[in-house]
Structure 1
Amino acid sequence: MSPSNPCLPPGCVLRQADPRDRLEVKKILFQALNWDKIIYISIGFCLFFAPVLTVVLAIQLLICILVGASILFISYKLNILKYWVIECNSYIVAFGALYCHETHSTISRLYVKKRWRRKGLGSTIINFFIQKGTKPIYLSSLPNRVSFYTRLGFIPISCEKITKTSRAFRKSALVLMKYQ
């Protein structure tokens, strides 16, 4: 995709992420999970209630473990070379990952910063992935995002059609989608 993509706002480019982008993408993913707010609230509870309530201390410990596990998960699973970013005026404002395999591709972690939403950035990344990926292309979506992906040509499918992911999707609230 060329830097002068007409679908992007002026000053924006779609490019493959490189190792220097890893920290910024991790930071955006962390903020998207709202863990930063949970940490601040947890610290506040600890400082205020911990001397009085030991139960609160146990809850805080559990929250800290969950936050730590999330950070480790994001760090471990983030293969930055599979990511494509939209950079506007030297800032990463959107990204997604495309994993191409011999028989199919998967799209993961599409994210657009709130301030940049409804400007076509997510659609631009998905359309680029559709052109670049091995068909069929799969993704999982939150129920409230299904209409977005449907407009781009994806259809919801039953998790029984893909045996490796069946068990995980049966227990989640995610919708498995496919682009032919």
Structure 2
Amino acid sequence: MRSMSVLPDGCVIRQATPSDIWSIRFLVLRAKLDPTQIRWQQFWVIECSGDIVACGQLRDYSGVKELGSLFVVPAWRRRGLGSILTQHLISSCDQPLYLECLGQRLANFYSHFGFYPVTWKELPRSLQRKFRVSQLAKTLRIVPVVFMHYRES
């Protein structure tokens, strides 16, 4: 697992508030991420000098959670914000944790935190329903989707 980085000066990590919803929606759409379940209550953000520069959420499903919508504004990348937010979301989770990512590069990123690839059949039923379209795209080789589960090391 990666060591916890330090936030840059002037930055804080915090739970989202109702006033953050439009900034979160903008970031999720800008990143072309899954726009379903954009509920501010599920999000954590990194705010730097008054601007939200990163976000991520823990989506609730029956008995499990999904880490999703992780995005860092391009101008703020390569400063460890994605790692800090990922580690924070993992430590905030109190149920089995899963995610889906596109491509091996992202799968490699998440593997540093204790996520490992799982097959479609290994996913909980509630996530199979959610990831049904992704699985079809993967089967048809349209999209390189990787499903992952978190295991504490």
What band does the TM-score fall into relative to the shorter chain? Answer: 0.7 to 0.9
How many Å apart are 1:6 and its aligned residue?
6.2
How many Å apart are 1:178 and its aligned residue?
0.6
RMSD: 2.3
- Cα-to-partner distance string for 1:17-52 (whole Å, 9 max, x where unaligned): 11101111112222223xxxxxxxxxxxxxxxxxxx
Summarize the Cα distance change of 1:104–1:113 in structure 2 as closer, same or farther, 3 Å threshold: same
Question: Aligned letter for 1:167?
Answer: R
Aligned residues: 137
Summarize the Cα distance change of 1:78–1:167 in structure 2 as closer, same or farther, 3 Å threshold: closer
Question: Aligned letter for 1:80?
Answer: W
Is the Cα–Cα contact under 8 Å of residues 37 and 59 in structure 2 kept in the other structure?
A: no
SS at 2:84 equivalent: helix
Is the Cα–Cα contact under 8 Å of residues 103 and 135 in structure 1 kept in the other structure?
A: yes
Matches of 1:150 and 1:100, distance apart in 2: 22
Question: Aligned letter for 2:17?
Answer: D
Aligned twin of 2:114: 153
How many Å apart are 1:169 and its aligned residue?
3.6
Provide structure 2 residue ranges, at least 5 long, that are not aligned to the other structure.
138-142
Provide structure 1 residue ranges, at least 5 long, that are not aligned to the other structure.
34-69
Is the Cα–Cα contact under 8 Å of residues 100 and 134 in structure 1 kept in the other structure?
A: no
Structure 2 length-normalised TM: 0.79
Q: Does 1:177 align with 2:148?
A: yes
Matches of 1:128 and 1:81, distance apart in 2: 15
- Percent identity over the alignment is 32
- Cα-to-partner distance string for 1:80-133 (whole Å, 9 max, x where unaligned): 110000000000000001135573221111000111111111111111111110
Summarize the Cα distance change of 1:139–1:89 in structure 2 as closer, same or farther, 3 Å threshold: same
Aligned twin of 2:21: 22
Which is helix-richer, 1 or 2?
A: 1
How many Å apart are 1:142 and its aligned residue?
1.0
Structure 1 length-normalised TM: 0.68
Is the Cα–Cα contact under 8 Å of residues 12 and 89 in structure 1 kept in the other structure?
A: yes
Is the Cα–Cα contact under 8 Å of residues 102 and 134 in structure 1 kept in the other structure?
A: no
Matches of 1:128 and 1:92, distance apart in 2: 16
Partner of residue 107 from structure 1, selected from 55, 67, 70: 67
SS at 1:77 equivalent: coil
Aligned twin of 2:40: 80
Aligned twin of 1:167: 132
By relative contact order (CA 8 Å, sep 6+), the higher-ranking structure is: 2
Is the Cα–Cα contact under 8 Å of residues 112 and 122 in structure 1 kept in the other structure?
A: yes
Aligned twin of 2:140: none
Matches of 2:61 and 2:30, distance apart in 1: 30
Partner of residue 87 from structure 2, selected from 122, 127, 137: 127
